Amino acid sequence: CINCGLCVRHCPSRLLPNELSKYCEFSMFEEAEDNFLFHCIECGICAYVCPEKRPMLHLMRYGKRELSQA
């Protein structure tokens, strides 16, 4: 992530996909949940506009799955 903010500007749920995906990537699932991970509608716009091509949608789905199984 280069912190360009494109994912934040384009998120229809007004979330912070850059932060949420980092939380999930590093198994910080409680922090992701506290920052409204489950409000993500999984549209994939964040990953589409990312110049670094970070797998944000994949990471957030992973975080949701881990939290649901806990």
Per residue in 12-43, pLDDT (tens digit) is 999 999 999 999 999 999 999 999 999 999 99
Cβ neighbours of 55 (radius 10 Å)? 13
What average pLDDT does the chain have? 98
pLDDT at position 70 is: 78
Question: What CA–CA distance (Å, rounded) separates 56 from 60?
Answer: 6
Asked if residue 63 has pLDDT above 90, the reply is yes
Asked if residue 11 has pLDDT above 90, the reply is yes
Return the structure tokens found at 11. 């998120």
pLDDT at position 7 is: 98
pTM reported for the whole predicted model: 0.93
